[in-house]
């Protein structure tokens, strides 16, 4: 997923009420991803059918070298933000 697409998606993520935190990440050379957290399952489902997902789906052929892979994970523990 090219860097410019991910950066352009940031304002869309800010508008998602159920998305607590959204990260665009670089995993390695030419390999990018998104990691996000949600208030509840409804927030997650809204995100997965929202504007970012629609934009990605519309440009998947040009942005992705392999099919999109979405993995739902459950955060078991975390620490609060410091400072």
3-63: CATH topology is Alpha-Beta Plaits (3.30.70)
**Two tokens, residue 67:** 């099919």
Listed by start position, the domains of the chain span: 3-63
Distance CA 13, CA 18 (A): 10
Helix, strand, coil tally for the chain in percent (to 5): 40, 20, 40
> How do residues 21-51 score in pLDDT, each as one tens digit?
999 999 999 889 999 999 999 999 999 999 9
The number of beta carbons lying within 10 Å of the beta carbon of residue 9 is 19
> pTM above 0.85?
no
Residue 8, pLDDT above cutoff 80: yes
**pLDDT score recorded for residue 65:** 87
C-alpha distance from residue 59 to each of 8, 40, 54 (Å)? 13, 28, 9
């Amino acid at each position: 997923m090219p860097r410019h697409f991910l950066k352009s998606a940031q304002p869309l993520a800010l508008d998602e009420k159920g998305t607590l935190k959204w990260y665009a990440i670089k995993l390695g050379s030419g390999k990018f991803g998104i990691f996000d957290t949600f208030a509840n399952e409804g927030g997650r489902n809204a995100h997965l059918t929202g504007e970012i997902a629609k934009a990605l789906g519309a440009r998947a052929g040009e942005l992705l070298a392999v099919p999109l892979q979405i993995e739902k994970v459950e955060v078991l523990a975390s620490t609060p933000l410091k400072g």
